[in-house]
C-alpha cells in the first residue's frame, strides 16, 4: 500500500502536507507501540467504518509515526485523540493545522513529523521511481510497443470516451493561442519555483514522480493557473459553443452544471522520469471526472507523451491485475500514445489507467510524431513539454478536491468562483459563475 502517496501525489487526501528536510536529524528514542486498540476505536466504529472522516493514509501515517516518536511528540497526538469527543476536526485537518504553525510556535510533534515525513518521502520516491522505470521497460522502453492515438472521424467524441476511455480531438486551440498560453505558463512556473515555500505550495500541485530520488533538480511540475485573460481566453476557445470538445464535456459530464474542477498545466523537461501507471480517481460504477490535456507544442516520442491503456476505465480486474504484478501486466497490455500537434488534445475518463513517459534527450535524426516517422534533418532540439488541462466533475458526482489531492490542481481563488460548464460555454466567459447568475 502506497500510504505515503498521501504526502506525495495526486489522488490522495493529504497531498498538501509539507515536509521540509531538516538540517539536523532527530535522535529518536526506541520505537513506541503502534496505536492501541482504544486508539483505533477512536478512529473507527466496531464495524470498521471511519467515524470522523479521517483518510486511511493519515491514519496509517500516524501509526507509523508513533512507532518512532519520542514520548513528548506522542503525547501531543494522544491529547488530540482524547479530545475527539469535542474537537470535530478530522485527523487530516489536525495534521495540517499543526504543520502550518510558524516555526517559532511549532511543537515537538511538528518538528519530529517533518523529519519523519522527509525520510519517508525519500524512501517512497525511490520505490515509486524504480517501479515506474520497470513499467516503462515492460512496455518496450525506447522500442515502445504503443500505437499512436489517432483522431476519430466521427463527431461523437463522447461515445468514444465511454467505450475506450480516451479520445483525441485535433485543432482545439489555434497555434497562436497555444503559443501565448505556453509562454504564460512557463513564466508562472519560473516565478513559482523562485518564490518562498508558501507561495510554491500554493501555485504548484504535487504530481507523480516529480523527480527521481537522487535527482539534483525537478523536471516535472503541475502549475495551478490564475483566472486571468490568457487562461480565460484559452478556455473560451476550447469550450466554444458548437465545438467538439465542449459538446463532449457536456455529454459526458451531465450537462451545464458540471463543475470546473481543475485548471492547471503539467510541464516536463529533459530528464523527467516516467510516471507509474495510475488512474486519477478510484474505480467507480459511474464516471466522476473528465479531463482534457491540450498540447501547447508538438509532442514527440522523446518528450514522454501520455500513455493510455484503452478500456481500463470500466474494468476493475485490470486495476487489480496491475497491483498484483505490474511488470507482467505492462508486458501484456496494449497501450496508445498521445503524440500530438500543438493545439490538439486528449479527452479522457479519470478512471482510465495512464502514465507520462520519460522525457528523454533527442538523439535521432528521425522523429516519431503524430503523423508517423519523419526522416532527415538534425536531431530535434530539447523542448519542454507543456500540457494545459481542465477537468469537469460530473454534475451528479460526489467528489471533492479534498478527495482528489488536497488543495487540488486548481487555485483556491479559481475554485471559489464556482464556475460550471454551462456558464463557461456562453459566448462571453464570466469572471464568476455566481456573478453571472445574479
Domain harbouring 385, CATH code: 2.60.120.620
Last residue of one domain, picked from the residues 92, 125, 158? 125
**Confidence check: pLDDT of 428 > 70:** no
Is the model's pLDDT at 367 over the cut of 50? no
Q: What is the DSSP code (8-state) at residue 45?
A: -
Q: What's the pLDDT at 110?
A: 85
Q: How many independent structural domains does the chain possess?
A: 2
Whole-model pTM: value is: 0.71
Q: Please say whether the beta carbons of 294 and 345 come within 8 A.
A: yes
Residues 305 and 217 in one domain: yes
Write out pLDDT tens, residues 314-339: 999 999 999 899 999 999 999 999 99
Same domain assignment for residues 93 and 167: no
Helical segments of 89-107, H only: 91-99
CA neighbor of 26 nearest in space, from 102, 103, 104, 113: 113
Structural domain boundaries, residue 262 = 143-437
**Residue in this structure with the C-alpha cell 465545438, named with its chain if needed:** 243
Q: Are residues 107 and 187 in the same domain?
A: no
Does position 217 have pLDDT exceeding 70, yes or no?
yes
**Is residue 137 in some structural domain?**
no
Q: Confidence band (pLDDT; 50, 70, 90) for 421?
A: very high
Whether residue 190 is found in the same domain as residue 116: no
Cβ contacts of 132 within 8 Å, gap of 6 or more:
209, 273, 274, 275, 276, 355
pLDDT band at 196 (very low <50, low <70, confident <90, very high): confident
- Please indicate, yes or no, whether residues 58 and 157 belong to a single structural domain of this protein: no
CA distance 414 to 412: 5
Q: Is 428 in the same domain as 296?
A: yes
Q: Could you say which of 125, 151, 182 is where a domain stops?
A: 125
Q: Same domain for 36 and 149?
A: no
Answer yes or no: do 103 and 163 share one domain: no
Q: Is residue 130 part of a domain?
A: no
* pLDDT of amino acid 200: 79
* Per-residue model confidence as pLDDT tens digits over 282-313: 889 999 999 999 999 999 999 999 999 999 99
> How much of the chain exceeds pLDDT 90, in percent?
50
What is the rounded CA–CA span in Å between residue 298 and residue 386?
A: 9
Task: Round to whole Å and give the CA distance between 114 and 53.
Answer: 23
CB 72 within 8 A of CB 108: yes
Q: What is the mean pLDDT of the chain?
A: 80
* Same structural domain, 111 and 208: no
Q: Which three cell numbers stand for residue 305?
A: 507523451
pLDDT of residue 309: 98
Do residue 117 and residue 170 come from a single domain? no
Q: Which three cell numbers stand for residue 283?
A: 474505480
The predicted pLDDT at position 62 comes to 84
> Among 99, 125, 151, where does a domain finish?
125
Same domain, 281 and 411: yes
- Least confident stretch, 35-44, 48-57, 423-432: 35-44
Residue 33: pLDDT over 50: no
131 domain-assigned: no
Q: What DSSP letter does each residue of 312-356 carry, written as one string? A: -TT-HHHHHHHHH-HHHHHHH---EE----TT-EEEEETTS-EEE
Instruction: Give the C-alpha distances (Å, rounded to integers) separating 15 from 350, 392, 401.
Output: 18, 20, 11
Same domain? For 147 and 114 the reply is: no
- pLDDT score of 372: 46
Q: How confident is the model at residue 413 (pLDDT cuts 50, 70, 90)?
A: very high
Domain membership flag for residue 369: yes
Per residue in 107-149, pLDDT tens? 888 888 888 877 776 666 678 888 999 999 999 999 999 999 9
Q: Is residue 41 part of a domain?
A: yes
Amino acid at each position: 500500500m502506497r500510504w505515503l502517496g498521501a504526502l506525495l501525489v495526486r489522488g490522495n487526501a493529504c497531498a498538501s502536507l509539507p515536509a521540509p528536510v531538516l538540517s539536523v536529524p532527530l535522535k529518536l528514542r526506541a520505537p513506541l507501540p503502534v496505536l492501541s486498540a482504544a486508539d483505533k476505536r477512536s478512529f473507527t466504529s466496531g464495524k470498521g467504518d471511519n467515524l470522523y472522516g479521517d483518510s486511511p493514509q493519515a491514519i496509517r501515517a500516524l501509526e507509523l509515526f508513533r512507532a518512532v516518536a519520542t514520548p513528548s511528540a506522542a503525547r501531543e497526538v494522544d491529547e488530540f485523540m482524547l479530545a475527539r469527543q469535542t474537537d470535530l476536526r478530522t485527523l487530516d485537518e489536525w495534521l495540517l493545522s499543526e504543520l502550518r504553525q510558524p516555526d517559532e510556535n511549532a511543537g515537538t510533534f511538528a518538528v519530529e513529523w517533518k523529519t519523519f515525513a522527509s525520510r519517508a518521502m525519500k524512501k517512497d520516491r525511490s520505490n515509486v521511481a524504480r517501479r515506474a522505470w520497470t513499467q516503462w521497460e515492460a512496455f518496450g522502453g525506447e522500442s515502445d510497443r504503443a500505437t499512436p492515438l489517432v483522431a476519430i472521424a466521427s463527431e461523437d467524441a463522447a461515445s468514444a470516451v465511454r467505450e475506450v476511455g480516451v479520445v483525441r480531438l485535433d485543432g482545439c486551440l489555434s497555434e497562436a493561442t497555444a503559443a501565448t498560453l505556453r509562454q504564460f505558463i512557463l513564466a508562472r512556473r519560473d516565478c513559482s519555483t523562485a518564490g518562498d515555500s508558501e507561495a510554491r505550495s500554493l501555485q504548484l500541485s504535487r504530481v507523480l514522480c516529480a523527480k527521481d530520488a537522487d535527482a539534483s533538480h525537478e523536471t516535472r511540475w503541475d502549475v495551478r493557473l490564475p483566472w486571468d485573460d490568457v487562461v480565460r481566453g484559452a478556455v473560451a476557445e476550447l469550450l466554444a459553443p458548437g465545438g467538439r470538445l465542449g459538446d463532449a464535456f457536456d455529454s459526458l459530464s451531465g450537462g451545464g452544471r458540471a463543475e470546473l474542477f481543475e485548471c492547471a498545466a503539467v510541464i516536463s523537461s529533459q530528464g523527467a522520469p516516467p510516471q507509474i501507471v495510475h488512474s486519477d480517481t478510484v474505480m467507480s460504477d459511474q464516471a466522476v471526472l473528465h479531463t482534457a490535456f491540450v498540447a501547447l507544442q508538438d509532442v514527440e516520442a522523446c518528450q514522454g507523451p501520455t500513455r493510455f491503456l484503452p478500456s481500463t476505465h470500466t474494468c476493475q480486474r485490470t486495476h487489480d491485475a496491475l497491483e498484483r504484478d505490474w511488470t507482467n501486466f505492462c508486458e501484456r497490455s496494449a497501450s496508445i500514445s498521445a503524440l500530438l500537434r500543438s493545439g490538439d488534445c486528449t479527452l479522457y475518463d479519470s478512471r482510465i489507467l495512464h502514465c507520462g513517459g520519460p522525457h528523454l534527450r533527442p538523439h535521432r535524426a528521425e522523429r516519431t510524431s503524430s503523423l508517423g516517422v519523419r526522416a532527415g534533418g538534425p536531431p530535434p532540439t530539447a523542448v519542454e513539454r507543456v500540457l494545459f488541462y481542465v477537468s469537469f466533475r460530473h454534475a451528479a458526482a460526489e467528489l471533492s478536491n479534498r478527495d482528489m489531492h488536497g488543495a487540488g490542481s486548481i487555485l483556491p481563488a479559481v475554485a471559489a468562483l464556482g464556475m460550471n460548464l454551462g456558464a463557461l460555454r456562453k459566448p462571453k466567459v464570466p469572471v464568476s459563475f455566481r456573478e453571472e447568475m445574479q
